[in-house]
A and B are shown apart, each in its own frame.
Chain A
Amino acid sequence: SQKIEQNSEALNIQEGKTATLTCNYTNYSPAYLQWYRQDPGRGPVFLLLIRENEKEKRKERLKVTFDTTLKQSLFHITASQPADSATYLCALVPADRGSTLGRLYFGRGTQLTVWP
């Protein structure tokens, strides 16, 4: 069955450090991988998307890598701030879109806490 794992349920780091979150998947041939941020009581908010033929994507302090050989994506937040504290979700878009229209496969998320 399809499975997406995020390395840990919680990650605590000090302000200014780089946070690295991991997303591993099995039994997929993903076309895209996305990362979302979710704050308590709110819906997820899209952050970044990376295609299967891309190795790395950056947006301001965010960086995503995608290794289809390892079946893994890494999500980095550099110079982290307390305002970055949230749950981060990875989501896959399988290559076989015909059977998965409108559907994202989500990991269960990693709760990041950045302390001052």
Chain B
Amino acid sequence: KAGVTQTPRYLIKTRGQQVTLSCSPISGHRSVSWYQQTPGQGLQFLFEYFSETQRNKGNFPGRFSGRQFSNSRSEMNVSTLELGDSALYLCASSSNPGLALYEQFFGPGTRLTVL
């Protein structure tokens, strides 16, 4: 099976702009979680989607949003970018966290730089 893919891999934006990141989970996986990783904070949970529904959300401002499509692909959007949004954004898929053992399969991430 192909792994989790994320596009784009690298992105440079300026403050105030918005950005959309994409994630394609492993075939058959219906749960997609998003994390932000920075050197100072480590991996911080953003949100999780399952069958097109957001089931869980971390402590991030409303500028961070996401959605999931019927084919389980997911996008996250960050509006009004700030310098502090510079980070590696990771997407992870799982077959069904409610039943399985929560093993998450991570993509390579999107490196976002905000200037």
Q: Are B56 and A49 in contact (CB under 8 A)?
A: no
Residue from A43, A49, A93, A102 within 8 A of B90 (CB atoms): A43
Q: Are A41 and B103 in contact (CB under 8 A)?
A: no
Tally of A interface residues using CB under 8 Å: 24
Tally of B interface residues using CB under 8 Å: 30
Per the bound structure, the CA–CA distance linking A34 and B37 in Å amounts to 18
Q: Smallest CB-CB separation from B39: which chain A residue?
A: A108
Residues of A within 8 A of B49 (CB): 102
Residues of B within 8 A of A103 (CB): 33, 45, 48, 56, 58
Q: Are B97 and A101 in contact (CB under 8 A)?
A: yes
A42 near B: Cβ within 8 Å? yes
Q: Are B92 and A43 in contact (CB under 8 A)?
A: yes
Q: Are B109 and A42 in contact (CB under 8 A)?
A: yes
List residues of chain B with CB under 8 Å of any chain A CB.
4, 31-33, 35, 41-43, 45, 48-50, 55-56, 58, 90, 92, 94, 97-98, 101-109, 111
Leading 6 A-B pairs by shortest Cβ distance:
A102-B48, A43-B106, A108-B42, A106-B43, A93-B102, A102-B33
List residues of chain A with CB under 8 Å of any chain B CB.
32, 34, 36, 41-46, 49, 89, 93, 97, 99-109
Q: A34-B102, A46-B104, A104-B102 are in contact. List 12 more A-B contacts (CB 8 A).
A: A42-B108, A43-B92, A44-B90, A101-B31, A101-B48, A101-B50, A102-B33, A102-B49, A102-B55, A104-B104, A106-B42, A108-B43
